[in-house]
Structure 1
Amino acid sequence: MSAFRRRLARRLSMALLVTGGLVYASWVLQFVLPVHIDPVTSFISELSAVGQPFRRVFRTLDLIGGALLLVGGATAWWQSRRWPGVWAPLVVLGVCIVLEALLPLDASFTDDLPDPGTGSWWARITEPHGVISFVETNAFLVLLVTCSLALRRIDAPLLRRRALATVGVLAALSGLVDAALTAALLVNGDAVGLGLVQRLGVTLTATWLALAPTWLLWVTLHRRRHGEAASPAASDAGSQAPPSDQRRKAS
């Protein structure tokens, strides 16, 4: 592959990762579209639920975002030839986002809750959308750990690593709080604050997805490119003896 094609492929992969990460936070369109869902108490997935007026908009954006992360992770894996523990969970994450869009909630979740204590809430969390969301969350946690370790291994700048780690940890903590509030919602029927926590967590996750994997790919390919450029120069320099050495050998 020519140098131009390598640069083009590298930039394309990074563009896919950045765009896919940003599109993951498509819920912000809730503020500009006449969506009748309370952002304080509702799940983000309810924006795509059956019966919602703009469900096709949010499903389409989820499909696009998931596909971008899937393809971006796959091409990054192919280009870098390193960090399979990073790119594999990123691909899984992209697949989960696509499946979530294809298998939306049947109805507005928080507006049609089962009666607390009846046990019917178990059917809610074991439906396909809930199972996929569980896999998606775990894929992100694995990705967070492996990508952070990879950035540390390549000795990326400390301040940037700490900033990204902070964003990622806050996103993970938001996910744990979200899970606890979801359990409380299903058992007790109380959803106050759940929507805010989930939207904060998704926004932090989208920010991290747009920055961390992209940075890992850029640093990996940048150092490899400069290393390959330096190797021929070093070998040429070693093969040519200084003029003073040549004169001493001749004498």
Structure 2
Amino acid sequence: MTRRRATTLMVISIVAGLLYSAWVAEFFLDTGLDPAHSFLSELDAADQPYKEFFGTADLITGLLLVLAAVLGLWWIRRHRLTTLGWIALGIFGIATIADSQLPIECVAENDPSCPVEPSGLFPQLHHIHALTSTIAVFAVFTAMLAFTIASFRYRSMPLLRTAGTAVLIITSVATAWLMIADNLPGEYGLGIAQRIQVGGMSLYLVVLGASVGRDGVRWT
């Protein structure tokens, strides 16, 4: 892969990672949601004031990830693990696009008329948005694992072997926290767990981009 192509992939991945962390803007906007207990999908719910901003950020992120996946498969010499990583990244992008186009209808915390399932869970857990979000999470974890393992097996991308591994571990811990706490009674900071999880995903995209930009020419 040429230096120009490596730089292009780097820019696309880093911009996608930064856009996927657009939820950080909630700390500067009056969303009416408690970050400690709300889900990120509520930020672009159909009845939210800043739905266009958060929804558009997700849409552009998804498009960039699909582009990165296509270029990665086209430009970088294929190995089994890296091929899996780029394909999973593309699926993550498609699922993120779907997330942006299929938001939940309302937020129960702010809208008394918003239907809540008998289980008491937030409505997004019973919406098609939950399916697209689940696919996105599985896909990005597959990509993160594939690229990280590839960096060890093929002795390439030292940044992925160090920073990438650290980010993967932190993101995995946050995901475990989210999945376990979601099935327990009481409040366990689900919103905090999800924000750490998604923040880790965003950071991994940045690390991946930086790794490709720095060592992509030698990734053979």
Q: Would the aligned equivalents of 1:92 and 1:136 in 2 still touch at CA under 8 Å?
A: yes
Instruction: String of CA shifts for 1:79-122, please: whole Å, max 9, x gaps.
Output: 0031211100000011111110000011115555736xx35759
The number of residue pairs the alignment matches comes to: 214
Of 61, 66, 71, 1:70 maps to: 66
SS where residue 145 of structure 1 aligns?
Answer: helix
Q: 1:11-61 deviations in whole A, cap 9, x for unaligned?
A: 222110111011111101112222211111101111100111111010011
Q: CA 1:65–1:158 in 2, change beyond 3 Å: closer, same or farther?
A: closer
Question: With CA pairs under 8 Å and 6+ residues apart, which has the higher RCO, 1 or 2?
Answer: 2
Q: C-alpha root-mean-square deviation of aligned residues, in Å?
A: 2.5
Residue aligning to 1:46: 42
1:1-251 mapped onto 2 (5 Å cutoff)? 6-82=2-78, 83-111=82-110, 112=114, 114=116, 118-119=118-119, 124-156=124-156, 161-184=161-184, 188=185, 190-212=186-208, 214-216=210-212, 218-222=214-218
List runs of 5+ in structure 1 lacking aligned partners.
225-251
Residues 147 and 216 in structure 1, CA contact (< 8 A), matched pair in contact too = no
* Code of the aligned partner of 2:75: Q
Output the amino acid matched with 1:143: A
Specify the alignment match of 1:244 in structure 2. none
- The structure with the greater share of residues assigned to helix is 1
Letter in 2 for 1:88: I
Give the fraction of aligned pairs with identical amino acids, expressed as a percent.
24
More displaced 10-residue stretch of structure 1: 44-53 or 171-180:
171-180
| 1:17–1:72 contact (8 Å) kept in structure 2 | yes
Q: So what's the TM-score if we normalise by structure 2?
A: 0.86
Task: Look at both structures and tell me which one has the larger radius of gyration over its CA atoms.
Answer: 1
**C-alpha distance in 1 between matches for 2:85 and 2:214:** 14
Q: Give unmatched runs, 5+ long, in structure 2.
A: none
* Structure 1 Cα separation of the partners of residues 93 and 99 of structure 2: 10
Under a length normalisation based on structure 1, what TM-score does the superposition of the two structures give?
Answer: 0.76
Q: 2: distance between equivalents of 1:157 and 1:205? A: 18
